[in-house]
Amino acid sequence: MAGLGHRVTCVDNDVAKVKALASGTPTIHERGLPEALSSALADRSISFTADAGAAAAQADIVFLCLPTPAGTNGHPDLTAVTSVAREIGPSLRPGAIVVNKSTMPIGGVAMIRELLDRTDVPIVSNPEFLREGTAIDDFLNPDRVVVGSTDPDAIDRVAALYSPLNAPIVRTDPASAETIKYVSNALLATKLSFANAVAAICEGVAADAHQVLHGVGLDHRIGPHFLTPGPGWGGSCFPKDTEALVAMASESGFDFALLRSAIASNDEQQTRVVDKIVAAADGSVDGKTIAVLGLAFKAGTDDTRESPALMVATALIGLGAKVQAFDPIAAVDLDGLALKPDPYGAAQGAAVIAVLTEWPDFASLDLVKLADAAASPTIVDTRAIIDRAAAHQAGFEIDTIGVSPPPAR
Ligand code: UGA
């Protein structure tokens, strides 16, 4: 927003975060963020504070970008939104606009209206569609900007913030805007569960899922994106948002069996990966060392929330394995998991090397060195990132998700 020419004040109640950001140090790994932050600080278009009331009192437009983590029974936990909306309500200027970017259950705008307790402040839903790791690119090149409100003037003012981006604007009512967000994530997650099911079928019929899905994705009605099989989808959004949509559907009288099934398939996918690793370890991982390459829920981020890699590692530890893990950026503190400074250290003495995050560096590993380090040259590649012919040449047996049969050693 600062890069688009707006003057931005960011508020957080985490004083350490405020300090770090004010001095130009991002607190998460995000491509392009250090540069964007320092350029905004240099031209004084961005500032940071922990004082929500003071910031709100000066703003024409206030964005609520608050965490709504998973709560109970599929419902997100709205504690942060509730307390911040109550806090800033009395401070807002008459005619200021409050824009909700937090992913809240449908009806969130109506709830915020009540919490703010201000009849002179229009509320707008403006959901975000940014992916971690490419958030800045996604912000600057949106497929669409969704703006939902009952107040047409407020819609125009919020849409105008994005005018330098020349993006299509979807002007709609609040509930439809909120639903667009949930349905987008749910459809993408379902597409991925479908792709992972195709991978399982392909393994059974000796087809190559990567070629199959490439062929399928060339149909413009389907599209090539979100068709790469993997260890299952994770992260801080898809799992929580799919559960929430199932719960909202159920409360409105519809059993969203299709989405429930996509979620169940995703759990099964993670179990399939564990089963593959156990099979690759000759039927048991108990007492064996397993190398895990990648802990982040996907490449490009240090985020391990709901990471399939972490879930697989945890399951292996539960089965008696000693896990040695390497991730270029992400770190976790988990009993039974030893973090290693490089992939070869992780592979040392391993019965199986499991590739769980698609870090590009894993495509250029020294496979001979990796095979030398391992106790048994066996790879389970859930991201299809290791060249199978090269792995074979280095003496590996490799099981790649969606590709069958694994070549013999
Ligand atoms: C997701 C959405 O893609 C964003 O549009 C949305 O704004 C965001 O959630 C949110 O609601 O805040 P993100 O959680 O960053 O973004 O992650 P994705 O890039 O969507 O990946 C989700 C999962 O699917 C990851 O575990 C990833 O490894 C997996 N995935 C993705 C695949 O297995 N294959 C693919 O082809 C793509």
Chain position carrying tokens 């049969």: 405
**CB of 222 within 8 A of CB of 216?**
yes
226 CB near ligand 1 (under 6 Å): yes
H, E, C per residue of 25-43: CCCCCCCCHHHHHHHHHHC
Q: Which residues of 3-42 are buried (b: 16+ CB within 10 A; e: fewer)?
A: beeeebbbbbeeeebbeebeeeebeebbeeeeebbeebbe
Q: Please tell me what DSSP assigns to residue 236.
A: T
Atom 1 (ligand 1) nearest CA: 131
Tokens of 150: 């009952």
Residue 77 belongs to domain spanning: 2-180
Is residue 8 located within the same domain as residue 149? yes
Read off φ and ψ for residue 208, nearest 5 degrees. Answer: -110, 110
Per-residue model confidence (pLDDT) at position 275: 98
Residues with catalytic roles: 237
234 CB near ligand 1 (under 6 Å): yes
Instruction: Identify which of 68, 131, 216 to mutate to test ligand 1's pocket (most ligand atoms within 8 A of the CB).
Output: 131
Asked if the structure places residue 84 within a domain, the reply is: yes
Burial of 213 from C-beta contacts in 10 A (0-12 / 13-18 / 19+): buried
309 CB near ligand 1 (under 6 Å): no
330 CB near ligand 1 (under 6 Å): no
Atom 28 (ligand 1) nearest CA: 298
132 CB near ligand 1 (under 6 Å): yes
Is residue 173 located within the same domain as residue 218? no
Cα gap 26→7, rounded to integer Å: 19
Cα gap 11→14, rounded to integer Å: 9
3-class SS at 58?
helix
Q: Please tell me what DSSP assigns to residue 72.
A: S
The packing angle between helices 174-205 and 209-217, to 10°, is 140
Is residue 44 located within the same domain as residue 89? yes
What are the residues whose beta carbons fall under 8 Å from the beta carbon of 372, sequence distance 6 or more?
Answer: none
Is residue 284 located within the same domain as residue 227? yes
**CB of 364 within 8 A of CB of 388?**
no
CA of 131 to the centre of ligand 1 (A): 6
Asked if the structure places residue 194 within a domain, the reply is: no
Cβ neighbours, 10 Å, residue 101: 16
Asked if the structure places residue 331 within a domain, the reply is: yes
Give pLDDT tens digits for 131-173. 999 999 999 999 999 999 999 999 999 999 999 999 999 999 9
Per-residue model confidence (pLDDT) at position 409: 44
Asked if the structure places residue 353 within a domain, the reply is: yes
Percent of the chain at pLDDT exceeding 90:
96
Beta-strand relationship, 8-11 and 97-100: unpaired
What are the residues whose beta carbons fall under 8 Å from the beta carbon of 293, sequence distance 6 or more?
Answer: 325, 326, 327, 343, 346, 353, 354, 355, 356, 357, 359, 362
Asked if the structure places residue 196 within a domain, the reply is: no
The confidence band for 405, taking pLDDT boundaries of 50, 70 and 90, is: low
The confidence band for 214, taking pLDDT boundaries of 50, 70 and 90, is: very high
Atom 13 (ligand 1) nearest CA: 131
Is residue 258 located within the same domain as residue 110? no
**CB of 149 within 8 A of CB of 208?**
no
237 CB near ligand 1 (under 6 Å): yes
Answer whether 0.85 is exceeded by the pTM: yes
Per-residue model confidence (pLDDT) at position 49: 98
Is residue 125 located within the same domain as residue 253? no
CA of 174 to the centre of ligand 1 (A): 24
Q: Which ligand 1 atom is at minimum distance from the Cα of 301?
A: 15
Is residue 18 located within the same domain as residue 101? yes
Tell me how many domains the chain contains. Answer: 2
Asked if the structure places residue 201 within a domain, the reply is: no
Is residue 324 located within the same domain as residue 403? yes
Is residue 294 located within the same domain as residue 350? yes
The residue type of 204 is G
Is residue 279 located within the same domain as residue 146? no
CA of 37 to the centre of ligand 1 (A): 24
Res. 404: pLDDT tops 90: no
CA of 215 to the centre of ligand 1 (A): 22
Atom 5 (ligand 1) nearest CA: 129
Asked if the structure places residue 190 within a domain, the reply is: no
Give pLDDT tens digits for 62-107. 999 999 998 988 888 999 999 999 999 999 999 999 999 999 999 9
Asked if the structure places residue 200 within a domain, the reply is: no
